[in-house]
Amino acid sequence: MDVAIDEIPRHYPTYDGNGCECHYYESADCIATCASNILNHEIRYEYGRGLITVPCSRGNFVLGCNIMPHGSIENTTVGKCLSWATKSINSCECFGDINDGATCYAVCGQII
């Protein structure tokens, strides 16, 4: 059984860095964490299949990680393993679908 891309829970930063984009297959809240004391704010991203690592620019630290899957996700073990997490203080790691891939996001900056 395939799950349509619109039914897959997704959340990722907007490209201008001023908000979050959320899509949920069931009812859920979309929450953005905001701060005015961030220097060198950046959103870095990388498309890939399987394991994806996204580093922050030199001197910046991870403030959050996100994933946006691409295509449909089959009801398989691999399809159920979409994940994203902080890998280190300055990088994010995501596991995307091995067929259609995913975009992994790292929200980075320096707190003053």
CA distance 10 to 84: 11
Give the pLDDT of the chain (112 residues) as one tens digit per residue: 444 445 556 667 776 767 777 766 566 677 777 778 889 989 999 999 989 999 999 999 999 898 888 876 554 444 456 788 899 999 999 998 788 888 999 999 998 8
Q: Where are the beta strands (DSSP E) in 1-112?
A: 2-3, 10-13, 20-23, 38-48, 50-55, 61-69, 73-74, 83-88, 91-96, 102-111
Residue ranges making up the domain that contains 28:
2-111
This prediction's pTM: 0.73
Domain count, the chain: 1
pLDDT given for residue 100 in this prediction: 82
